[in-house]
Amino acid sequence: MPTQLKLIALAAALALTACGKKEDAAGTTAPASDVLVIKIGHVGATSGAVAHLGKDNENGARMAIDELNAAGITIGDKPARFELLAEDDAADPKQGSAAAQKLVDAQVHGVVGHLTSGTSLPASHIYHSAGIPQITPSSTNPKLTRQGYASTFRLVADDVQQGSAMGRYTVDTLKAKTVAVIDDRTAYGQGLADEFEKAAAAAGAQVVAREFTNDKATDFNAILTAIKAKKPDVVFFGGMDAVGGPMLRQMRQLGMPAKLVGGDGLCTGEMINLAAEALGDEQVFCVEAGGVDGDEVALSDKFRADFKAKYNVEVQAYAPYAYDGVKLLAQAMQTAGSADPAQYLPALKAIQYQGASGKVAFDEQGNRKNAALTLYTFKAGQRERLAVIR
């Protein structure tokens, strides 16, 4: 290259470098090497019978990711960019473990999930071994936070609280003298049914039947016929809406007048479609592991309105908790000045946070302190809140 052309090229390169420095100083751009990429995993059942709940959670987590990136937060002295790595576990324990290992191999900085207890439990071992914090927005089996894992957190009340509350409510308020109990043999359903049975019996009800099905069943005539002969005032079902809705329809087809009660698996918007005309008025009662009251209502309402505007669907159940799960991880990282799980875990354990699901602080086991429960019924084709209890 001729000397004159070399001098021109060198001058151009120096000009570009100076321009780049000016842009950095003005804060308009930053070299890619200076951006801290933070990978947050989310796992839920986005296929299968409870896909509507898994997608609800995923949408809540994604909404938080988008807001964090729009806010332009920094971790330590670096601008942060958040990425969501979303996996589907189909509510299957083996698939849940595979999804967890995939996220560990991808070196995520934290995980929000899983949707169900049956997948959260085996996955928690994998996250614990890798030292990656896991915040479940919806898994309620008590065993999850009783394993002694410092990395495991829960944002909702557990099955002991849910089942106990529903057992007492069934006897004290619904005035049931006899109850039948059915569970779907999942970690969630069976654990919840066990707690309900203990609480209902302790409150004075007679448990006239204990039956089980599975989480993919569609025909319940055999067990319902056996239960019908015992004339229970209430049938409790430990399981999800995908099974509870069809079960209620078959109860009505058999002429069973008993009320159907359950946990948060029945407390969804989709239950209205799944049960159809069998839903009736004040014939189904359920308790949701969560809820807000007082000053917390405004933030919850804002989240639900923003969620509807963004996705054009209503919140199904636990999207606010998945949303808060992502924001909790981000706040802990900001407090610690690091996205390294070992560095920010102490800040997560000590966190004080106010979000879409209310105030969040954790006890020594990783459970949410003062976790709320909300009692619901269904009336005129709509879910109706009865009370928030703690």
CATH 3.40.50.2300 domain span(s) along the chain: 34-156+293-369, 160-288
The reported pLDDT for the residue numbered 10 is 41
The reported pLDDT for the residue numbered 30 is 52
Residues 160-288: name the CATH superfamily: Response regulator (3.40.50.2300)
Point out which residues pair with 81 in neighbouring strands: 37
* Burial class of 306 by CB neighbour count within 10 A (0 to 12, 13 to 18, 19+): middle
Phi, psi of 87 (to 5 degrees): -125, 150
The reported pLDDT for the residue numbered 3 is 43
The distance in angstroms from the start CA to the end CA of the chain is 79
Spell out, as residue ranges, where the chain has pLDDT lower than 70. Answer: 1-33
Asked if residues 134 and 103 have their Cβ atoms less than 8 Å apart, the reply is: no
The reported pLDDT for the residue numbered 389 is 85
> To 10 degrees, the CA torsion angle through 131, 47, 65, 98?
20
The reported pLDDT for the residue numbered 68 is 98
The reported pLDDT for the residue numbered 32 is 59
Point out which residues pair with 176 in neighbouring strands: none
CATH top class, domain 34-156+293-369: alpha beta
The reported pLDDT for the residue numbered 94 is 97
Q: What is the pTM of this model?
A: 0.83
Asked if residues 213 and 235 have their Cβ atoms less than 8 Å apart, the reply is: no
